[in-house]
Amino acid sequence: MKITPTSTFLLLITMLGLPTLAHAEQLSGDQVRALISDKTVYAYHEKKDFDIVTYFSADGTFKSLRRGDVYPGKWRIDGDKHCIRRNDPFSGQPRKERCMYIEKDGDTYKRIKEKGSGKRIHVITYKRFADGNAEGL
């Protein structure tokens, strides 16, 4: 067998395995808190196709601008999950709390919903972060 640069490259790829190159890291609760506390997060809802801007105050409250409406609410960390409970923008009544994992995949952060079956679904992509309440929410 003749060894060429191409065959060496293919052998190396096979030995390393491509899936290891594309592995996302699940953030701990402390890492999530450091990532979003007192920050404005610019995000995109993958499932419902709209942009979201949210200011997560250090006191556990937030305001989120989505589709022209401002939703106030509360956020917290539960283990390694980021939990939010939005209030209805019209009635002010709290909605169901939603807790999800945050994964870092390269330079991208993803909010991941885990189903009872263990299946993980990418729901929201965090596109960028700004210190403080950058949009005055």
From the list 30, 97, 29, 31, the residue with the least C-alpha distance to 62 is 97
Residue 125: name the closest of 93, 94, 91, 102 by CA: 102
Neighbours of 104 (CB within 10 A): 15
Residues 39-52 have pLDDT tens digits of 999 999 998 999 99
Q: Which domains are delineated in the chain?
A: 23-131 (2.40.128.640)
pLDDT at position 33, please? 97
Q: Among residues 91, 108, 110, which one has the least CA distance to residue 100?
A: 110
Q: Half-sphere exposure (CA, 13 Å, Cβ side) for 39? A: 14
As a whole number, mean pLDDT of residues 3-31 equals: 61
Question: pLDDT (tens digit, 9 = 90+) per residue, 34-85?
Answer: 999 999 999 999 989 999 999 999 999 999 999 998 989 999 999 999 999 9
Tokens of 86: 């939005």
87-94: average pLDDT: 81
